Structure 1
Amino acid sequence: MEVLDVLNLGEIAQYFSKMAMFPVFDFAYYIVSILYLKYEPGAVEVSRKSPVASWLCAMLYCFGSYILADIMLGVSPIDYFHNNSHILLASAVWYLIFFCPLNLFYKCVAFLPVKLVLVAMKEVVRTRKIAAGVHHAHHAYHHGWLIMVITGYVKGSGVALMSNFEQLLRGVWKPETNEVLNMSFPTKASLYGAILFTLQEAHLLPVSKSMLICLFTLFMATTKVFMMARHSHGSPFALIESWLCHLLFGSPLGIEDAHDHHHSAPAAASAPLSPAKTKEELSEVTRKRKSKKAE
C-alpha cells in the first residue's frame, strides 16, 4: 500500500498537467519548429536574401496554430504577439539556428540524442495546446462539439495547416502539399486528440483532464521519438484507418487493385503483338536504308 501511495498516478498527472511550459518546454518547441523550417528546400537561401521573410516564416512555424485558432474564434490574429517574452525567445532561436557562427547551435540541437529529447518536449507543448484549444472553445460554445474539435485540432497542427501560406512567404507554391490532403502523423494525432479532449470536456469520457493530458502526452512523445529514431515517416494509425475506410467507405486500394487487374489482362493479351510491331519497325528501317542507297 505504501508503494501505491508513493506511486499515486493521480497526483503525478495533476502535477504534470499544471507544470509551466515557459521557458523550458516552449524553448524546445521553438527549436524543433525552426529546425523543420531550416530543412525546407531554399529556406537557408531565403534567410540570406531576405532575413525579414525568413523571420516571418519562423514566427508562423512557432505561432501559426495560435494565429489560425484566433482567426476562427473571432480574435485578432496578432493578439498572441503581445507576449514579448515568447517573441524574443523564438526570435533568438531563429537567429541562432540560421546565423550562429560555424553553425554551432544548429549542430548541437540537430545531434540526434539531443533532438530526440527536444522532440519529446515539443509533444508536451502540443498536447497542452490541444487541451487549451478545446477548453477555450468550450467556454465560447458550450454545446458546439464540432467547434471544440476543430479548435483543438487547429491548436495542435495549425503550423502544418498554414504551410502553404508560409511557402508563399518563401516564394514557393506547392498546393499538392496541402496538409489536409496529405496528413502527417502529428496532424492526425492532433485531430484524434482533439476528439478525445472534446469527449472529456463533454463528460463523455470517464477520465480526468489531467490524466488524459498525461496519457496522451506519453503516447505522442513516445511515438514521435520512436519514429524519429528509426527515421520512419509512416503512421501507427495506418492499420486502423485502412480497416475503417474499408468498412465505412469501401477500400480504395481494393478498387485500384481490381481496376489494375482488369487492365492487366488486356495488356497481357496484347503482349504477343509487340513482336509484330517490332517487325514493322524493322521493315520500316530496312525500307529507309534501301531508299538511301537508291539515292
Structure 2
Amino acid sequence: MEKLKVGRASLTWLNGGVTHLDGGAMFGVVPKALWQGKYEPNEKNQIELRTDPILLQIDGKNFLIDSGIGNEKLTEKQLRNFGVLEQSRVEESLKQLDLSVNDIDAVLMTHLHYDHASGLTKKVREDEYETVFKNAVIYTSEVEWHEMRHPNIRSVNSYWEKNWKPIVEQVKTFDKEVEIADGLKMIHTSGHSDGHAIIVFEEGNETLIHMADIMPTHAHQNKLWVLAYDDYPISSVHEKEKWMDFGYRKEAWYTFYHDAYYRAVKFNQAGEQTEAIKRERYNYS
C-alpha cells in the first residue's frame, strides 16, 4: 500500500475497488486527441478509475476519505456497465495495518455518489443492510446529505437508499466548512454535485489538498477540464481555479481517490509537477 507523510498527517491508500467509465464523459468537452495522451483509454474508450479510500491518521485518530465501491451492492448489469473488475477489499487492507473497520473514528465523505458511498454499508441478508464503520462519525455537507435522501431526476441513479438508511444516526453535517482536527478541514464547493466538498490539511509550510471529483485524476489538472458528469460544471471550473491557485502558492500535495496511475502529485508555484507517488499495480486475483 502506498503511503504519504504531510506534516503530522500520515496517508495510506486502501483497496476500494475499480471501475471503468467512458473517457469522453470523464473529460467532458475536451477532445479525445488531447486527453488520451494523459490518460489512456481501452478499446471501449473507457478509462480505469480506482475507488480507493485514503486512511488519514492524525493525532492518534483514524480518518477515512470516502469508502470505496463496497461489495454486493451492484447488479450484474451495473457491474458490466460500470466496468467493475474488482470490488472493495477495505477490511483486508485495514487488517494489513493491524486495524479494523471498528478502529475508524470518522469517515470524511466528499460526496455520496454510489462509487464513493457504497462502502459505508454492507448486506447482512436480502434487502437488509447495516453500517460498516460502527464507531465512526460520518461527515458530509448538509446539502449533500439532503440530496442523498431526496435525489432529483438526474441524481437518483447516483444516490442509493441502501447507502444512507443504515448510517442515519452517525451522520454529522456542515454548512460551509468544518474543522475535523487541528489543521484539517472539509470545505463545501459544489460543482461535481451540489453538496460536493474537498479536504484541506495545513501544518506550517506543508499542505495537502484532496479535490475529490473536481480533480479526480492527475490528468484533470487543467482548470477547464471538468467532467460531463458534473451537475454544476461552471462551479467546478471556478472552485478548481481557486484551489489550484491556492495549492500552487503553497506547493501543496494533491491526492486522488480515482487515479489509476498516481496516488498523489505535488506542484510548484508555476503548476509544474515536482514530486509524485505512483500507484503500484497489484494482481488481486
TM-score, normalised relative to structure 1: 0.24
Larger RCO (CA within 8 A; separation ≥ 6)? 1
Structure with a larger share of its residues in helix:
1
Greater share of strand residues, 1 or 2?
A: 2
